[in-house]
Amino acid sequence: MCGITGWISFERDLEPEGDVLDAMTATMACRGPDASGTWLEGPAALGHRRLAIIDLPGGVQPMSVRTDAGEVVIVYSGETYNFVELREQLRQAGERFATDSDTEVVLRGYLRWGEALADRLNGMYAFAIWDGRQRKLVMIRDRLGIKPLYFHRTSDGVLFGSEPKAILINPLIRPAMDVDGLREMFAFVKSPGNAAWSGIREVEPGTIVTVDAGGLRERCYWRLETRPHTDDREATVARVRELLDDVVRRQLVADVPRCVLLSGGLDSSAITALSAAVLAQDGERVRSFAVDFVGQTANFKPDAWRATPDTPYAHDVAEHVDSEHTDIVLDHESLADPAVRRAVVAARDIPTGFGDMDASLYLLCRAIRERSTVALSGESADELFGGYLQFHDPRVQQAHEFPWIAMDPGRHAPMDAILTAEVRAILDLAEYRRESYERALAEIGHLESESDLESRMRISSYLHLTRFVRHLLDRKDRMSMAVGLEVRVPFCDHRLVEYVYNAPWALKTYDGREKSLLRGATRDLLPESVVERVKSPYPSTQSPRYAADIQHQAAELLSNADHSVFALVDRRWLESATRCGPTAAGDLDRHGLEWTLSLATWLDLYRPRLAL
């Protein structure tokens, strides 16, 4: 895993711009703490920060191959899980290799197959290739959007980077956010291509972007397509298990210490058990890590979202598979620490309303990085197998709205309440979400044989896999890479996604519960307590002292009457939210306070021009 950046200017010689390229590359230092490299020649400037995972001495970047027609150079971030097979195919075709890295496989694959290389890759990746033979830049992103990649068109080329900060530091661009950017940031719908920052776009998942002197072109090489599913229940469960076995085996390949993130839920427990089985073949024990909060297990109070604490179930799994397990236990001071909030906002480049859940994920990853470099995680299982409550609520199933919004508008869209009346009117978030929803619906294919319920559930699955999960993937990437930890997500393997997406809803719920296919495919590996556990989301602290901490910080913010946050946030709402006691504050108040503090931190760090 790494950080990449670059600048292409077809009307300039960029070799004198080494200092600017160095600054762009330096913004990616957290993503790649092991090495730094740059390459400049004529109109092209490429930068790379490396987190060494495979072929530690040989995978140095930028990596290039000289041809008679010109030099071809790559900066690459991510992992190609089928690089061994591809390398053998390329060797048989006459290619010769100087390293054992997957980066060289991708580079030589491009030399052999051109942009068609993308169709052959299995992995999580975002890379850019400067093809000096044709004086063009080719940017390619993985199918599900696991690895980020952004670009900004200039008058004569393009700037690009793994994160917006690599682009924003270039003197050609001034940090700004317009109305559409603010809508995207606050609406919680993740429109494809929208990066929130003015003038910056993301390379969409499953897309190739080509830039030459004639302009910029985008081509989709993969999309989530509707196909008939012909396997019966037994065959479907067996195929899911077959795919999971292969995916986990591939994703455990690394030349550095590996581990798994374990919550005690079905998803992470399945990954842990599958990993344990693979590693046991080589006499290794899997290492697992879980997050907990001081006093939470002993004093846990069930709510509408979480019926049980995670820790007892995580311990059941750790004992069952004999993992080397560690609990990372966090206190309210660290979760509310303004320095941690600044690190989170700086990592994500935009404010978010995840509050303590972002802080705890960042702190968890930081603690794990002291012991491991690669971690496997369970992201996308709920979106793929139908785990969330909104999949199973009849009211939400019939709603013409993003399911996560329809399920609980206050939880996922608190900005509707905390923004000033003027800003709410300008942004009109409800209309923005409605338009985004209609655009998403137009992308979905249906089968003539589908019942109304099956059709509605296909819509819900598609929206979760192409909109909702991208929030979570971006969050996991930014929080982990901010501390140099590579997180791999087996449930995002495109083969598994294509197969399970097209399984009928009746199969996904064949035992009358959520995630039936995943449960059936991994039941033999798991303790009964986890098999029978009801879905519980990522943990959030229940500490009233945390709530009191953020109320106090918000009250301090109120004392700064000139703070730019009040151009967006309703001061009267904030005054009200800080007056009630922490135990009386509802979810809306807490999420709103977290949003406000995150927003204020972002404005202080980036000082963007807000074009309302």
User: Do residues 28 and 3 lie in contact, with contact meaning Cβ atoms separated by under 8 Å?
Assistant: yes
1, 53 in Cβ contact below 8 A? yes
**Left (φ > 0), alpha (ψ -120 to 50) or beta: where does 330 sit?**
beta
Task: Encode burial over 43-53: b for 16+ CB neighbours within 10 A, e otherwise.
Answer: bbbbbbbbbbb
- Specify the length of the chain in residues: 612
Residue closest to 419 by CA, chosen among 205, 221, 255, 185 = 185
Q: What does the alpha-carbon distance between residue 542 and residue 582 come to, in Å, rounded to a whole number?
A: 11
Would you state the structure tokens that stand for residue 12, as one six-digit string? 């300039």
Beta carbons of 350 and 313 less than 8 angstroms apart: no
Identify whether 2 is a catalytic site residue. Answer: yes
Q: Taking the C-alpha atoms of 596, 387, 318 and 82 in order, what is their torsion angle to the nearest 10 degrees?
A: -100
Cis before 62? omega within 30: yes
Count of CA atoms in the C-beta half-sphere (13 A) of 391: 27
Contact between residue 14 and residue 154 where contact means Cβ atoms under 8 Å apart:
no
Nearest to 184 by CA among 438, 469, 435, 480: 435
Lookup: tokens for 417 = 């309440």
Instruction: Return the bridge partners of 609, or none.
Output: 176
| Contact of 334 with 340, CB cutoff 8 Å | yes
Residue 201, both tokens: 């776009």
Give the H or E element holding residue 196.
none
**Owner of token pair 């807000």:** 610
Question: Of residues 2, 30, 259, 492, which has the active-site annotation?
Answer: 2
Cα–Cα dist 405/586, whole Å: 18
Rounded CA-CA distance 593/603 in Å is 15
Asked whether 383 and 497 are in contact (CB, 8 A), the reply is: no
* Type of residue at 332: H
**Please, what is the Cα angle at 494 between 225 and 456, to 5 degrees?**
40
Q: Which residues are catalytic?
A: 2
